[in-house]
Structure 1
């Protein structure tokens, strides 16, 4: 047993008198030298003392090791004890579960990174968190996987998520486009079909996967969102979902040139419709889907008739959000021209325009102006990304949108570092947005509260931008001046992103006072 006391466990036999020893070495010789036995006795005592010293060193080193281990345990105990003061322990379980619900998105079951399965990651932190996660089946119901990456044997993590989600509605995203399904692919589809009554959202990329999941009509009591943006669905494929009483969102690549009303599908329930192309025209879409609040069109085809012009324009009385994703095609009319000329949307509040490739078509100024005049809406959100547009055309557009609250302009090109030509983000635009413009013109978008710009050029007048943002930091009590074209409401956020230059922190420090007062001001350089 190790002696943990601090006392020495032995006494020296040897008298360490070096003075006397040296004296003897100098004086003892000849007959005066001690006998061999006497010398052997002295040396023997010294060797025994050395052995005792070695033993004592071993004892003390053992004690040091014990103390070091005790210190490690004390440090660990201190760390655990301090955890008792952690603020998160004071948060009620209900609040922690809401945080988990916010933090846990889709669980990528075929990813090799553990953090891509946030629900499983959180459940491994501690006993309390695991209990809370197990008590929230909705966290386990957000399932994403790539079909080609599904293991050929025992996809146990999917079984775990399906079991842990209990009766919670399932959100299923399946990526990948296998040309033919292998037996283990079919087994995964069968496992999901076994929970078809819980499908809330189904997102599929591959047609073979889609067929395996929907090979005959079923009842879909909980299905709300069917997302197949890359698939061409013919009437038979759509009619598989005729018995989906909750379905309100459909995204599809292509619908054939037939009257949608002839397809047995819950068109009247749809609130959101997104599609690549439908040759039967805007009128057919809007007449059949008369409850749409959001409509998304994507320009993908190069064949004539991808979208048919509807004249006279069709009324979309409840439509609130219109999104156009345009592409460079060989068609005589652009998607934007067809849509703006075919519709009237008096309830529209959001207009989102985005280009998908090297888009070079002229800005549809005439069609858009007619659309705005015809609709007489109060637009609050405008987003224009990757589309060539002059500053003059953008300023003219903003003059016709006095109710605008949120403005997003991105002059970059998709998958490129250069700007669109022409770019709308110029000194003239920045000066026009000033609350006190230099010329005699009225203030643009007086009600603007949120501004987000992405600039891809290399030369930019930061001072003008800062002056413009500062000029819109005004009291909200100026509402009575808005009708006369004087003053603005208070700008709440301003974000400026640069693709090809850095942010000069010294210049933007001038906005620090308004940021402290409540405005969100963000400058992002190319290295951020």
Structure 2
């Protein structure tokens, strides 16, 4: 039950409070010393209420939006981007927060360096749904920010959308893309042949145009078997450039670390690591390389109860 008072201020005088996780309900609000919060998480709130709180944390450096509701009645009525100082932004979405791009319409973040976008392993209402990030490039352009670390985890984002976005991030040094466990058995949505080709450095062509992700130093991929093993290995080989002079000539920094997780169906006869041995050679030469494999379970993933918003959506 919500408290009898609609407004609580018992936490307002808390001079040491810096980290805050908050679920905002329409029935009541809690007053916090908003301007001293540096690490803020809004969780399980309506989009409109979460945005109200996010606009209050004017000194926040790190912000997380965790499974907030972006369905129609949860959206705010005014669409005016607000300038905020966040350097790190994480957005976790689920079935109720399916409109991922909604968040990018409401903020201008000139200091943003770290962007992490993640979903659930299995979407109950949209098991094969695709997330769209068409508002993300315009958000980056409007913010004029320099994103150095980007993560897509458990999101069915197309390779085309990812490539378009990455072309707008020339200073990116860390990239993580994790395909979903469930919903796309044996199919990689983002890490495709086209994606691997774009990420491959052509050592024969120099000075024609700026190389794709020329500052990339750390790459973390999780993908389904089977995949284009030769193309993946060739891409990593092309980005392993330990010779500094050659790296300078190419105007591409060397990849320093590569983490790879391979997902395969439990019925597979062989663990799908054939063809990856060349990466062990690069590891011996100095590349920080880690390989893990995981068999997908036969049973349906465990579904957790979602917060009940039925009363909020009644007429």
**TM-score with structure 1 length normalisation?**
0.48
Cα distance in 2 for partners of 1:371, 1:302 equals: 18
Number of equivalences: 282
Cα distance in 2 for partners of 1:234, 1:298 equals: 24
Which protein has the bigger strand share? 2
| Residue of structure 2 in register with 1:218 after alignment | none
Alpha-carbon spacing, 1:287–1:509, altered in 2? closer, same or farther (3 Å):
closer
Contact 2:47–2:68 under 8 Å retained in 1 = no
Say which one has the larger Rg: 1
| Residue of structure 1 in register with 2:174 after alignment | 406
Alpha-carbon spacing, 1:391–1:438, altered in 2? closer, same or farther (3 Å):
farther
| Residue of structure 1 in register with 2:114 after alignment | 350
How large is the RMSD of aligned CA atoms in angstroms?
Answer: 3.2
Structure 2 unaligned segments of length 5 or more: list them. Answer: 266-270, 297-315
Cα distance in 1 for partners of 2:179, 2:226 equals: 14
Aligned counterparts, 1:239-388, within 5 A: 239-256=9-26, 264-275=31-42, 276-278=44-46, 280=48, 284-301=52-69, 304-308=72-76, 310-316=78-84, 318-329=85-96, 334-356=98-120, 357-358=122-123, 359=126, 362-388=130-156
Structure 1 counterpart SS, 2:63:
strand
Contact 1:295–1:322 under 8 Å retained in 2 = yes
Cα distance in 2 for partners of 1:338, 1:467 equals: 37
Which protein has the bigger helix share? 1
What whole-Å deviation, never above 9, does each CA across 1:439-490 have from its counterpart, x for those lacking one?
A: 987532111111111112x321212111111111113445655xxxx44211
Contact 1:446–1:488 under 8 Å retained in 2 = yes
Cα distance in 1 for partners of 2:253, 2:70 equals: 45
Is 1:235 the counterpart of 2:235? The answer is: no
Structure 1 unaligned segments of length 5 or more: list them. Answer: 1-206, 212-232
Residue 399 of structure 1 deviates from its aligned partner by 0.7
| Residue among 477, 493, 508 paired with 2:276 | 508
Cα distance in 1 for partners of 2:105, 2:49 equals: 12
Cα distance in 2 for partners of 1:420, 1:363 equals: 19
What whole-Å deviation, never above 9, does each CA across 1:83-117 have from its counterpart, x for those lacking one?
A: xxxxxxxxxxxxxxxxxxxxxxxxxxxxxxxxxxx
Residue 255 of structure 1 deviates from its aligned partner by 4.0
| Residue among 423, 426, 436 paired with 2:189 | 423
Alpha-carbon spacing, 1:347–1:525, altered in 2? closer, same or farther (3 Å):
same
Residue 402 of structure 1 deviates from its aligned partner by 0.9
